[in-house]
Amino acid sequence: MIHPIRLFGDPVLRRRALPVTNFDERLKTLAADMFETMYAAEGVGLAAPQIGVSRRMFVALELPTPADDDDEDDSRWDQRVEHVIINPLITRRAGVQLARDGCLSLPGLTALDVPRDLAVDVTYQDLAGATHTISADGYFAHVLQHEFDHLEGVLYYDHLPEPRRQAFLEEHRRELVDMQRRAKAALREDRAAVKR
């Protein structure tokens, strides 16, 4: 099932998500829905709060590093690995990378040179509750950090140095106001549907 993606302005995006405690069939269904929603939106990651579920869970795609001469190598997509990450902790951070960042909850907006750790280790649980650790660097480390941030109520532009953060907000003021308006309208519709 494809869920609507919560937009900038929805309070769930700024809340610290709660731990997952029930590893049941509903959790498996949620993970499948999150992948379906992520693919429909053409993303490489999606956190549960982005579909209104305030739980510490995200899905992410790991893609092979492109060949030096071909950043658009379509075969990379066929070699993707899907990850379901539940109750994650970043246990090691190393290095610094600057990369372009965007978000399905801020559609159409990107920021350049967003600072992230170059490499991370993430300890997490899978759908059965078993504990694992994954090591990532480069682009996949960036994806893991971006999705982890959603569980902490952090958006990618929060990482920009203050003058650039303010410039980003000012430059995109019109789009952000529109997203906030749409987010509030969606919340009103949700409340009305619950009352029916």
CB 58 within 8 A of CB 103: no
C-alpha pair distances (Å), 33 with each of 2, 5, 26, 109: 6, 12, 10, 24
> Which one from 147, 171, 175, 189 is the annotated catalytic residue?
147
Amino acid (1-letter code) at residue 74? D
Structure tokens at 151: 């569980």
C-alpha pair distances (Å), 142 with each of 73, 106, 117, 156, 181: 20, 17, 7, 11, 29
Q: Distance of alpha carbon 186 from its chain centroid, rounded?
A: 20
Q: Is 147 a residue of the active site?
A: yes
Would you please indicate which residues are annotated as catalytic (active-site) residues?
Answer: 147
